[in-house]
Every structure is written in structure tokens, then in C-alpha cells.
Structure 1
Amino acid sequence: MDLSQITEALQRDAVWVVFLNVLLQQAGLPVPAVPTLLVAGSLAASPAQAAAMLAAAVLASLLADAAWYAGGRFFGYRVLTGLCRLSINPDSCVTQTEARFQRWGLWSLVIAKFVPGFSTVAPPIAGSLRMRLPGFLLAAAAGAALWAGGAIVVGWLLRDELQDALLTMSRHGRTMAVAGGLALALWLAWKLWQRYRFMKLAAIPHVTPLELIEAMASDAPPLFLDLRGPAMIASTAPIAFATRADVENLLQSVGDWPRQAPIVTMCACPGDATAVRAAHVLTELGYTAVRPLKGGYEAWLAANGQT
């Protein structure tokens, strides 16, 4: 939906258009809501109408967030892993997302709407960590109100400029469409290039869970590095003989481990992304026998009959 179509629809039924647009975006679909909110603010005829738009946006956002929260509550980190699998560049998606949540706590839900890519994944993390529902809803509502309210207020303050911009775009619609399409193509090409680079990095020898089980029972077991985030480990279970690690501080986790001795890295992320990255980092540091665990944490659970 382009801005001229948004304008026409908003003039007919602003509250429902805002509600539907925000609901679709917060559900995870690539439907940007900020342009709608800006135009809605510029077209608001009264404070009461603007308040109704804001209420619709907050309600839509809360409905989507509550659904993701329930998914995280009942299905745990599988929901987050599934969301990250949809990413064009999955490298460290789960770990980075959890790190933000750990750093900001409840405030992460307030600022989530302002962080690209974080808005959809924050609620399932809150659910998987068993955050209390009243606190979750309060923080999510506050974040939605700040995000949507800010866009509506900016739209109202810049209503003359926005209307002029919409008029210009309607006069030069084909040129704007070509420019937008070109920008989208360049962005997509960059993301695909990042994915291609990751796939090249991921094309290294892996170890299967069964091979790891056999190796751990041998006289010379490998160093097993668990790269899952602390919140995920707490919400599932630690692995008794694994060493907690993160990519930024690998040397601290490795300690005085011999550089020729085997090391296995494991994560809970699409494409074993974090485990692959850690294996490359350790290899560059001089460790000669580092391999990621194929299939990550879920494959490890399956091999041990825990799924």
C-alpha cells in the first residue's frame, strides 16, 4: 500500500486502517506501520480522533504481543528460533536478541518498538522467561503508546509538510516507485550478499551429536562450549560437562586448553550461526581442531532422547 492509497483509506476510516496496519506489522509481516501513523496524525481533525487512532494502535500492538508472549510461554525458545530462521542473515540472531533483553530487562519491551527487528522477538522471549503477565502487558502498552503516539504527534506537527510531500509523490508517482524499487533492490542485494558470506563461513566440517556423545565418553573428551545465552540456559537446563561461553570472550572460556586438542561449539540458532562464528574465531586464534555441533541444541536434545 503506497502513501496515496493510505491517505484515501485513512480519510474513509482512519481508526480501522491504523488498527489493521499495526496488527499486521506486530504479527511479523513486512507491512510498515510508521508511514500510516504519520499520515494518520497529519489528517487528524481533532484531539479526540488522534486519541482514537492511538488507542487502536496500542490495542493492535498488545494483541499481537500477547499472542507472541503466549507462544514463548508454551513453546519456549523454539518460537524465537523459528522467527530468526526467517531472517535473511541469521548470524547470531537468537544470541543478540537475548543479550538485549538481558541488558534492558523490562525496559526492553518499552523500547522494543524503536529497535528494528526487536519488536517481534521481544514478546516470545518474555514469555519463555516466564515474565509476569501484568508487568509484560504494562511495559508492552507503554512502548506501543510511545511509539505510535510519537509518530502520530510528529505527523500532526508536520501536517503541512506531509501533505505537500504526498501531493508531490502523487505527481511523480512513477519516479518515486522506481526510486523506491531501486532502494529496495539494493538493500535486498546487500542482505543476500551477507547471507552468501555466512553460507561460505558455514561450509566447514561439523560434528554430529552422536559423534560428540562418543567423544565425551572417550579418554580424551573435547572441550564442549555452550554458546546459548544465560537466560536460555536458565529456562531450559545447563549441560553438566559443557563450558558456558560467548563469542566476545572465547579466550576466557577456553582458558589453558591445548591448541591442538578438540573443541566443539554449540548454539541454539538457525544454521548453527553462532557456533560457526565461534569456530572461525577460535581457528583464527590458533586452535586447530574446532568444529560446530550440527543441528545445535535441539539436535543435542534429540540425540539424548529429551525432545
Structure 2
Amino acid sequence: MNVEALLQAIPPIAVYLLVGGVIGIESLGIPLPGEIALVSAALLSSRHTLDISPVGVAAAAAIGAIIGDTIGYSIGRRFGMSLFERLGNRFPKHFGPGHVALAKGLFQRWGVWAVFFGRFIALLRIFAGPLAGAMRMRYPRFLAANAGGAVVWAGGTTAVIYFAGVAAERWLSRFSWIALVLAVVIGIGVTLLMREQTSRLIAQLEAENDWETLRRH
């Protein structure tokens, strides 16, 4: 199978829609591999034989993130914290009490900055929109932080991966399939690392809560 020909047959608009769609759905609160989609598309945009634009990739990612977070904010504002209780019962691995408590604690501590920097953190990337709405954060402040974080995250990630891909192409004659493999490996590695860090924070938070409960009694 000619991988290069297969990649060239993919319309650039399909790549942009896929990136924006995956990131948008992830921002709604549904755990999808948004980072993997962005990294993969950014690597493909570094191929001079393809018509995929890095600017288009970054724009699609940013727009998807902003729209997804805004819809998630509206859902969270409509249903409140009870939304996370219901989600926790159905999806305990993603919306368990520890995850919600950790995200809520970060919001209470950092406020609007949790929305901005949440785009760079796997846990908050899923929780940011719905949780901000549930906690009744003012929408103008949320929108400013959401849009700013989305643009910086999408643009910065795309730029770093794009220029890394351009540099690597000088050394690799058949970079197309290697790019896809690297994208998956990098994305999965980052996801697993963030999940491990999140699990540690949740365990620490639960231990502190147990200690506080024992101290009061």
C-alpha cells in the first residue's frame, strides 16, 4: 500500500473537520483523544507534499475547543453539580468523585486561570466547560479565558510539532507513515503520563480528606 498516495487522497478539509470535531466533543466533557488528533494533523501539515495547512489545523483546533467548551458551559450551567453526580455513576473512571473534587479544587483556587491553563491539562480539558458553568462562572470571563487558552494551546502545539516535523523530514525520506506512528506514540505517552499524575493527585486529595474527617471526629 502506498501510504503517500493514501495521504494525498485525503482532502485537507476532512482533516480540519476531524480535528475540530474530536477536540470539540472532548471539550464537551466526553473523553476523546483530542491531543492525538491535533499532533497527528500538525505532523501531516509539515509534509510539503500534502496540502494540509498548519494554520488551518491550528484554527480548526481552536474553533473546536471554543465551541465545545461553550456548549459544555451551557450544559453545566443548566444542570449544575448534579450533572457530575450522574456522570460519576455512569462513568466512574472519568467522572468519579476524586476527579470532580480535584477539578473543583483547582477552579476554586485559580478561578478563571483554571479555564485558561486547563486547556493544557488532560483532566481540566474535559471538565473546564461544564464545571465552569456548574459553578456559575461569569460567561464573559469564561469566554475570554476559554478562547485565549484554546488559541495558545492549539497554535503553540501546532507550531512546535510542525517545525519538528519539518526538521525531521530532512533526515527521513519516508516520513509519512513514521509521522503517524510518532503521533500515536507521543499522544498516548502524554495521555498516560497525565492520567498517572491525575491519579496521584486524586489519591493525595482523598487521603487528605480522610485525614480531615478523622481529625474532626
The offset of 1:169, in angstroms, is 7.3
- Describe the shift of the 1:156–1:7 C-alpha distance in structure 2 as closer, same or farther (beyond 3 A): farther
SS at match of 1:71: helix
Give % identity.
24
The offset of 1:68, in angstroms, is 1.4
Q: Is the 8 A contact 2:28 2:130 kept in 1?
A: no
After superposition, give the CA deviation of every residue in 1:51-76 in whole Å (9 maximum; x if it has no partner): 33322222211111111111121111
1:127 aligns to what? 133
C-alpha separation between the residues in 2 aligned to 1:143 and 1:97? 17
Q: Is the 8 A contact 1:21 1:32 kept in 2?
A: yes
Pair 1:250-2:213 in alignment: yes
Q: Is the 8 A contact 2:59 2:154 kept in 1?
A: no
The offset of 1:141, in angstroms, is 0.9
Note the residue ranges of structure 1 that are not aligned, 5 or more in a row: 195-244, 255-307
2:204 aligns to what? none
Residues 211-226 of structure 1: matches in 2 within 5 Å?
A: none
The offset of 1:28, in angstroms, is 3.5
SS at match of 2:78: helix
C-alpha separation between the residues in 2 aligned to 1:36 and 1:23? 11
- Aligned length, in residue pairs: 186
The offset of 1:7, in angstroms, is 8.0
The offset of 1:38, in angstroms, is 2.4
Residues 82-231 of structure 1: matches in 2 within 5 Å?
A: 82-85=86-89, 86-88=91-93, 90-160=96-166, 161=168, 166-168=176-178
Comparing 35-44 and 100-109, the one that deviates more: 35-44
C-alpha separation between the residues in 2 aligned to 1:132 and 1:78? 19
Q: Is the 8 A contact 2:132 2:142 kept in 1?
A: yes
- Describe the shift of the 1:140–1:8 C-alpha distance in structure 2 as closer, same or farther (beyond 3 A): farther
The offset of 1:142, in angstroms, is 1.2
1:18 aligns to what? 19
1:81 aligns with one of 60, 79, 85: 85
C-alpha separation between the residues in 2 aligned to 1:139 and 1:166? 36
The offset of 1:109, in angstroms, is 0.4
- TM-score (norm: length of structure 2): 0.68
Q: Counting helix residues as a fraction of each chain, which structure ranks higher?
A: 2
Q: Counting strand residues as a fraction of each chain, which structure ranks higher?
A: 1
Q: Is the 8 A contact 1:100 1:108 kept in 2?
A: yes
2:72 aligns to what? 68
The offset of 1:252, in angstroms, is 4.6
C-alpha separation between the residues in 2 aligned to 1:150 and 1:10? 24
C-alpha separation between the residues in 2 aligned to 1:11 and 1:251? 58
- Describe the shift of the 1:94–1:6 C-alpha distance in structure 2 as closer, same or farther (beyond 3 A): farther
C-alpha separation between the residues in 2 aligned to 1:71 and 1:253? 36
> Rg bigger for which structure?
1
1:230 aligns to what? none
Q: Is the 8 A contact 1:26 1:120 kept in 2?
A: yes
The offset of 1:140, in angstroms, is 0.7
Instruction: Give the partner amino acid of 1:125.
Output: L
SS at match of 2:137: coil
C-alpha separation between the residues in 1 aligned to 2:26 and 2:164? 24
Instruction: Give the partner amino acid of 1:247.
Output: D
SS at match of 1:31: coil
Note the residue ranges of structure 2 that are not aligned, 5 or more in a row: 200-207
The offset of 1:50, in angstroms, is 2.8
- TM-score (norm: length of structure 1): 0.50
